[in-house]
Amino acid sequence: MTASKRIAAAILRHNRLFALLLALVVAVLAAGIPRLEFSTDNRAFFSRDNPEYRDLLALDADYTGTDGLLFLLVPPKGAAFDPATLEALRDFTDDAWQIPYVLRVDSPVNLSLSRSEGDEILIEPLLPDTGPLTDDDATRFRKGLADLDEAEGRFVSEGGDAFGMSVQLVLPGTEAGRDEAQAHVTGMLDAWRAAHPGWQFRVTGGFLGGLALERIAIEDLTWLVPLAALIVVVILLYMMRTVVGAVTTIVVAVCGTVATLGIAGWTGIVLTAGTAISPLSVLVLLTASCIHIMLSWMRALDGDAPDRAIAAALEENLGAVTVTNLTTAIGFLCLNFSQAPPLRDMGNIIAFGLLVGLAATLVVVPLGLRFDRREHAARIPVTHTMMDRLALGVLRRWKLWLWLFPIGVLVAITGILRIGYDDSIFRYFSPRTEFRQSADAISEKLSGLDSLQFSFEAPEGSVFDPAFLASVDRFANWLETQPEVISVTSIADILKRMNAAMTGDETRRLPDSREANAQLMMLYEFSLPPGHDLTSTIDVSRTKTRLIAGLRVASSNETRDLAARSEAWLARNEPVIATRASGISVAFARLSQQNNRQMLLGLGVVLAAISGIMMLTLRSFTYGVISLVPNLVPAVLAFGLWGYTFRDVNLGSTVVTTMTFGIVVDDTVHFLMHYLRRRRAGLAAEPALRDTFSVVGAAIIITSLALMAGFAVMTLSGFVINRHIGALTVFVVGFALLADLLFLPALLLALKKGRR
């Protein structure tokens, strides 16, 4: 008796006991679900040793660390600088100060201009604080905005038809505090929209982005996972005509899903928009194993008694189902090579869910099938005749497929070369989400939501050192010439403007002494409106200053390229103050590249582990190597197609090859194990292949369709990383289906011919 028969017999003999133990394990895991928490921190995508993450922490330590809001106000066309419009803008600024936990409000109406009058320097707001506004006030305001270099693209649009306003918050770090601030902002905007129907109001920012990510995670978990389950049920009912099988499969999927969420709760894994979709993957993947066993059972019904058919199906599929679940789990475990903690967490909890799901498959499916009293197999849409015709067609043209797939790979490589990385926290949201729509509207009118930040440390111990300021100013001037840069904010501009007001020199030069710079900056700071200071630009010790370049970029490729050019320019022209570009935009822009390098190592581990398992399973080095080919080709073809269609990939795309390699091995394992059993039983290659098509061909087609339909649900997510993972997985599984049914038989025939 083989090991598979002994294990299958033990499972069937103690089926109810194993089912009871499984129920106990699932119940314990389910108790961890109430412990689940959702993250609103976009920095959760960075590991603690990531250099960009450390740069973000350094910025928070040196400068005012706040959560921000960015408002866009678009008045009716042609009325932007009417006195009534400016009064409304002033009132909106006052309302912004009422937002809970507000620290600072930067608005066009509280900007100041400096001018000299006799021996005095006057620093005056662009608009009076109170009272009705006149046409003269509006004219003065418009001219003042034009004179402020930092205003365009930040406080007023390039066309002068929209205004921007930034609000900095210091949130308490509690869910209640975040909800209170969000509720106030929502209510405020609703009131303004009702009172000003001709206006457009938009708001975005990191604070709201985190809340939007949490909302998407909850929506994906509560809507997309049940939708995937419904699709699986429909496919099973249509393709296999078995209500009992559909119910049994859902029970198995529930066990795996509960295990996935439960282990996250017990281990303290905080769910993000990237990990909340994990149960969907487990649900869909476990369906494939159930389908293989149930189709074998249906075939066995035509010659055996119902109980014997169950035993035969379990014996036939025990090894293949175990191997496929293990290889899939290994693929997900190798996501631990990822630079992004949410992807590592996703890999770990999915792998655990699959292992629990494997136990559920081997225990629940045989138990469930006992309740199906049929004595003959149902007629399924993918018939034996169809499979036989397909086999004959493939075998007659095997040389065509042997050449067509390598040619397809070469074409796909040219598509892969077209791929670029696009990782922006704002473009991680689907265009259908309100947050993304607001972000796009603000980016169109203002400088965009992407920026580069540079923290410069004065080598002489003071940011007011003339040589240091001159270096910062030269870099700012260079940045302003770059096509991606809309605005540059630095203390050098403030000091040049103050010095011009003091001396009357319209050329705007920096003062020549440290003392003069310090005095001018002190004068400027004393004249700022209440709630304003320089801690967002200069650190408390006055040894560091921050320069911010506002960008308008089409993708994070441009952000990353500009950061590299900036760092190279500093190293070449200002080595004394040279520093790294930092900020959330460049951190995400660089994350995919870093992650891709790490995932190449992960892919190597997957290849080594799975190839070893396949060699042991198939008991053949040659066939173990052959099994890798039809599983690597689909990923190349999928990314090639992506390069010709969508072009850009993001953080999620970089893990698809490693993740899906274990998935697509599923059908290859079933195909090769059955083929080798027939070959070792004495059949020649072509009859063995025809029999393999007849026996496992339908299962390969049905499981592939189920996987593609299930992962296609992920494309409905509001989180673009999930959409990319879902779409690319559909591509990979689709090409894997073709590779298993067309390319793999051609390889096997070529191997047979080569051994003659």
pLDDT along the chain (756 residues), means of 10: 78 89 94 88 82 87 75 91 91 91 84 63 73 86 80 82 87 77 92 93 84 85 89 84 86 93 92 85 88 85 77 86 87 85 90 93 90 71 83 88 90 87 78 86 80 90 90 93 87 82 72 84 73 78 89 83 94 93 87 77 79 81 82 88 84 75 79 86 87 86 89 89 88 91 89 60
The tokens of 125 are what? 């707001």
Residue 89 pLDDT: 92
Which residues does 622 contact at the CB level (< 8 Å), separation at least 6?
751
Residue 244 pLDDT: 85
Alpha carbon distance 162, 439 (integer Å): 15
* 59 and 453 Cβ atoms separated by less than 8 Å: yes
Per-residue pLDDT reduced to its tens digit, 139-196: 888 888 887 777 777 888 888 899 999 888 877 767 777 888 889 999 999 999 999 9
Residue 235 pLDDT: 86
Residue 578 pLDDT: 92
Residue 95 pLDDT: 93
Alpha carbon distance 11, 18 (integer Å): 7
Neighbours of 120 (CB within 10 A): 9
Residue 378 pLDDT: 65
Alpha carbon distance 638, 245 (integer Å): 32
* 549 and 452 Cβ atoms separated by less than 8 Å: yes
Per-residue pLDDT reduced to its tens digit, 97-113: 898 888 888 888 887 76
Residue 566 pLDDT: 95
Alpha carbon distance 362, 479 (integer Å): 63
Q: Is the dihedral of CA 517, 518, 519, 525 positive or negative?
A: positive
Amino acid at 482: Q
Alpha carbon distance 511, 498 (integer Å): 10
Amino acid at 519: Q
